[in-house]
Amino acid sequence: MHKKIISAVVVAFTALATMTASGSSAAARNLKTITEGTLLVGSDQVYPPYDYLEDGVTKGFDADVMAIIAPKLGVEVTFMDTRFASLIPGLQANRFDMIASALYVTPARAKVVDYIAYAKTGGSLMVRADDTFEPKTPEDLCGKRVANLKGAAWVPELQKVSQETCGSNPIDVKEFATSAEAAQALLSRGADVVFDDAGVSKAALVASGDRLKITSSKILFPVIMGLAVKKGNDQLLAGLKEAFEPLKSSEEYKAILAKYNLDLPTDAEIASALTEAK
C-alpha cells in the first residue's frame, strides 16, 4: 500500500510538471512576435545606467526588468540597439516588438504607442566641477547653452520655460544623439549645462572622475517611464500586463527599483503623465 501511495504521488507530480511545461510552451506559441519564440526589444544601449553594453551583453535597468518578465511570457529576449530618436519610428516600422529603454510617458507618444508604466524618475542639472554657475531650476538657464539627449521629453518643457520666462535671453537648447555626447560637449565647453535624467547624471558624475557636478537639489520635471508596444498590438500589450502586474509588488522588483534609485509611479501620477496640458 505504501509503495502504491508513493507511486501515485510521483505520477501526480510528473503530470503537473508536464502540464506546467506545456502551458509555458502554449504561452510562447500564442504570443505573436516578429520572430517566433523571441521578443525583439528596441533599446538605446548608450544610456547607462538604464541601457548599455558590457562585453557585448545588454546591461542596466531595462535588461534587469525584461529578465524577470520574459520567463512569464515563455519567450527569449533579444535587444536591438537603436538610437533614442529612432525607437518609436522603429517600433512603428515593425523592426522590433516593443521598446524597453527608459521611455518617458507623454500624451504625444501615447497617441502612437501603448504604455505599461513601470518606473518614475526625473531630471537633474549638471555643470563642470570648476564652474561657479550652479543652476537649481530651469528658470536659471536663460541665456545658457543646455545640452540634452535628442528627442528627450523635457526638451519641449525647456523650450516652454524659455518662451515664458527668458524673453530676449532665451535658453539655447542643444540636442545630442547620446547622453555621453552631451556630457562631452559640457566638458569641452561646447555647452554650459547638461539637463539629463537623474540616474544618468549620477552615473556620468562617477564616470567623469569628479570633473562634473550636479547642482539641482530636487528632481525636475518628474516623469513616468513606460514599456511601449505599437498601438493596436493588443495581444502583446495584454501579455505584458499580465506578466508585469504581479511582479510590481514583489520584493524582486522593489530591489531592482532601489538598485537604480527609482520609484514605482502611482495611478494618479500615471494618469497625470497621460493628460494633455491645457
DSSP single-letter state for residue 104: B
Instruction: Residue 141: give its domain's CATH number.
Output: 3.40.190.10
pLDDT digits (tens, 9 = 90+) for 132-160: 999 999 999 999 999 999 988 889 999 99
pLDDT digits (tens, 9 = 90+) for 31-56: 889 999 999 999 999 988 999 999 99
Residue 128 clears pLDDT 50, i.e. is over it: yes
Within a domain: 242: yes
Query: Which pLDDT does position 10 carry in this prediction?
Result: 37
By percentage, how much of the chain surpasses pLDDT 70?
Answer: 88
Within a domain: 26: no
Mean pLDDT, residues 247-272 taken together: 91
pLDDT band at 7 (very low <50, low <70, confident <90, very high): very low
pLDDT digits (tens, 9 = 90+) for 54-69: 999 999 999 999 999 9
With 0-12 / 13-18 / 19 or more C-beta atoms within 10 angstroms meaning exposed / middle / buried, residue 94 is exposed
For the record, the C-alpha cell of 250 comes out as 514583489
Closest CA to 171 of 158, 184, 183: 158
For the record, the C-alpha cell of 222 comes out as 518628474
pLDDT digits (tens, 9 = 90+) for 73-105: 999 999 999 999 999 999 999 999 999 999 999
Structural domain of 167: 122-221
Beta strands in the chain (DSSP E): 38-43, 46-47, 51-54, 57-59, 76-81, 98-99, 113-128, 145-149, 172-176, 193-197, 212-214, 220-230
- The more confidently predicted of residues 276 and 255 is 255
Query: Which pLDDT does position 142 carry in this prediction?
Result: 98
Cα–Cα dist 198/125, whole Å: 8
Number of domains in the chain: 2
Q: Are residues 126 and 193 both part of a single domain?
A: yes
Query: Which pLDDT does position 277 carry in this prediction?
Result: 55
pLDDT band at 166 (very low <50, low <70, confident <90, very high): very high
Query: Which pLDDT does position 6 carry in this prediction?
Result: 39
Query: Which pLDDT does position 258 carry in this prediction?
Result: 84
Q: Are residues 201 and 91 both part of a single domain?
A: no
Q: Are residues 117 and 163 both part of a single domain?
A: no
pLDDT band at 3 (very low <50, low <70, confident <90, very high): very low
Within a domain: 245: yes
pLDDT digits (tens, 9 = 90+) for 9-25: 333 433 333 333 334 43
Q: Are residues 103 and 238 both part of a single domain?
A: yes
Looking at every residue in the chain, the average pLDDT score rounds to 88
Mean pLDDT, residues 166-182 taken together: 95
Within a domain: 52: yes
> Would the pTM of this model clear 0.95, i.e. be above it?
no
Of 204, 221, 238, the residue at which a domain comes to its end is: 221
Q: Are residues 192 and 130 both part of a single domain?
A: yes
Q: Are 101 and 42 in contact (CB under 8 A)?
A: yes
